[in-house]
């Protein structure tokens, strides 16, 4: 394994985790403020906001964080 690989994996993990945490905070804020329009938008199964919806939104936000940090800057340098 390359010496830089553990550092890169740690950086990927931290980026994904920060994006996922933003997704959890978004769902928590929507739930606490009782924003009905946002609830219906993010409700995947149609059964109210639950752990499955939180996981889906967190995963999407984590992927967006990775795209924003690594992919988009690379595309801008082409």
Domain total for the chain?
Answer: 1
First to last CA, the chain: 29
Answer yes or no: is 53 within a domain: yes
54 within domain boundaries: yes
CA distance 75 to 77: 5
**pLDDT single digits (tens) 44-78:** 888 888 999 999 999 999 999 999 999 999 898 87
- Whole-model pTM? 0.84
Domain with 52 in it: 22-77
Q: Is residue 60 part of a domain?
A: yes
Tell me whether residue 3 is in a domain: no
For residue 31 the two structure tokens come to 């739930």
Is 67 inside a domain boundary?
A: yes
Is residue 73 domain-resident? Answer: yes
pLDDT tens by residue, 7-34 = 888 999 999 999 999 999 999 999 999 9
Q: Does residue 39 belong to any structural domain of this protein? A: yes
34, 39, 42, 47: CA torsion to nearest 10: 120
């Amino acid at each position: 394994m390359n010496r830089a690989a553990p550092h890169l994996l740690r950086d990927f993990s931290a980026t994904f985790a920060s994006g996922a945490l933003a997704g959890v905070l978004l769902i928590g804020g929507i739930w606490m403020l009782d924003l009905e329009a946002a609830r219906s938008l993010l409700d995947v199964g149609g059964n109210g906001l639950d752990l499955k919806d939180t996981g889906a939104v967190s995963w999407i936000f984590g992927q967006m964080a990775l795209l924003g940090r690594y992919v988009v800057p690379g595309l801008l340098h082409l």
